[in-house]
Structure 1
Amino acid sequence: MFTGIIEATGKLSAVQQRGADMTVTVYSDSLDFADVKLGDSIASNGVCLTVTKLAKHSFDADVSSETLAHTLFGRYQPGQVINLEKAMLPTTRMGGHIVSGHVDGITQVTKIEASGRAWHIWLALPKALAHYIAAKGSVTVDGVSLTVNELSAEAFRLTIVPHTATHTTLSQLKAGSQVHLEVDLIARYLERLLKKDSDSATGGVNMALLAQRGFL
């Protein structure tokens, strides 16, 4: 599990195709690897990768065919800059929100506007994920925990403050850029619970069910 608070950026220094999957080497001289060991998880542009080889300033990870099918890793080339976050500890400050590192989809930047020293970034709202995204709710974009500040039927707006722009890859985005999107974990489980009720003899979510569950 992660928090969406980026610790450092790194670069893909090598990409090796291995049949239907691949192995990547991620280099970073700004991420502290002192407490990293084989088998640990590191979120790389929001994708949870398992460390299979470790050096002083780099790590190797395997990227499965499943991950390649649902993320941008299959398009990345050596030199690609990515956001990095080590798995959270029990003592970690929850500065962002609970992030699983499992990408729900890919979306595209539609517009970027300056707002003082900050930036407004509009992203296309994928139809399949639209019901998970709420105004003032949390989303993860390329591993970065962000707040949805405005929502329309086709897009949603995020505001990137100077610190986030400086310490992540979000400053490199432009209209047309594609990014990884992970919706709020709680929203996904809530949908599952509600679907269970809707599949039961209760006939779905209604006022009686909400009252029974203590919402009214």
Structure 2
Amino acid sequence: MFTGIIQQTGKIYQINLEGSGYDLILDVSPTLYDEVEIKSNISLNGRALTILGKEIAGEFYLLKFYLGSAKVAAQYQGQKKFNLERSIRLGEEIAGPLFYGVPSGDCQLISTENLSGGGIKIEVSWESEFFQYLDIKDQVCLDGVLLIIKDMRKSSLLFDIYPETVNLTNLGEKEIGGYFAIEIDPMVKKIAQILAKKILS
């Protein structure tokens, strides 16, 4: 489980074709490297991945993951910075909703605007059956980052992103047309799925 509160980022060291998928080697901070163990989970841009290996190579602190999807590997290729969050531990304070690290889909960045003080306003388009269950002030994760919906349009969501979040994450680096992994509150998702089943029955 994850909170969407990003404290660290990492960057790609290598992506290698491995069988029907890809090995992703990520360079992380020495602190994160020391804190995590093989087979523990990390949210990487909002996707829960299992650490398969650890290695120190010179000045690089490397964690190994496996990507089973060529689509995800293609999205990761070329990104400069990745949002990282280790799974929560018993006894930690939890200030908001919990997320599984399983995206509800992908949304597309359609506009961005600089705000005073270094923040940004972004608008993302999301064609999904879950869209109708969202409302202003609901919380979602974009690439693993917890955000509050500022406004909504017919098929798009708008967010104001604070300067601290811009600096700590990769949200400010995305170009128009790029995609974010989006995850909605798991409780909202479950209610939407129950209602959809009732409509079909």
Shorter-chain TM-score bucket reads 0.7 to 0.9
Give 4+ residue runs of structure 1 displaced > 6 Å after superposition. none
Written as runs of structure 1 = structure 2, the 5 A alignment for 1:1-216 is: 1-29=1-29, 31-56=31-56, 57-65=61-69, 68-69=70-71, 72-77=72-77, 80-117=80-117, 118-198=119-199
2:106/2:126 contact within 8 Å kept: no
Percent pairwise identity: 23
Q: CA deviation at 1:196?
A: 4.9
Shift of 1:193: 3.1
SS class of match (1:131): helix
1:41 counterpart letter in structure 2: N
- How has the CA–CA distance of structure 1 residues 79 and 165 changed in structure 2, closer, same or farther, with 3 Å as cutoff? closer
- Partner deviation per Cα, 1:38-92 (whole Å, 9 max, x = no partner): 1100011111110010135221011123xx45xx333433664211000011222
TM superposition score normalised by structure 2:
0.88
TM-score (ref. length: structure 1): 0.82
1:179-202 per-residue CA deviation (whole Å, 9 max, x = no partner) reads 1111221111112333455466xx
Query: Unpaired runs of 5+ in structure 2?
Result: none
Residue by residue over 1:22-52, the C-alpha shift from the partner in whole angstroms, topping out at 9 and shown as x without a partner, is: 1111111265232311110001111111001
Give the deviation of 1:104 after TM superposition: 1.8
- Using the alignment, how far apart are the partners of 2:38 and 2:123 within structure 1? 38
Question: What secondary structure sits across from 2:51 in the alignment?
Answer: strand
Q: 1:106/1:199 Cα in 2 relative to 1: closer, same or farther (>3 Å)?
A: closer
* 1: CA distance, partners of 2:142 / 2:28: 20
Amino acid at match of 1:101: G
Change in 2 beyond 3 A, CA 1:78/1:121: closer
* Deviation by residue 1:76-134 (Cα, 9 ceiling, x = unmatched): 33664211000011222324431111122112111112232221111112233312422
Instruction: Compare CA radii of gyration and give the structure with the larger one.
Output: 1
Contact map agreement 1:125 1:153 (CA 8 A) in 2: no
Return 1-10 or 100-109, whichever deviates more: 100-109
CA contact (8 A) 2:142 2:183 kept: yes
Aligned residues: 196
Quick one: which amino acid aligns to residue 28 of structure 1? V
The answer to whether the Cα contact below 8 Å between 2:22 and 2:73 also exists between their aligned partners in 1 is no
Distance 2:200 2:177 in 1: 40
Contact 2:130 2:189 in 1 (8 A): no
Q: Give the counterpart letter for 1:99 in structure 2.
A: F
CA contact (8 A) 2:81 2:169 kept: no
Runs (5+) with no aligned partner, structure 1: 201-216
Residue in 2 that maps onto 1:206: none
Conserved? CA contact 1:8–1:30, under 8 Å: no
SS in structure 2 at match of 1:188 = helix
| In 2: Cα distance, 1:141 partner to 1:33 partner | 24
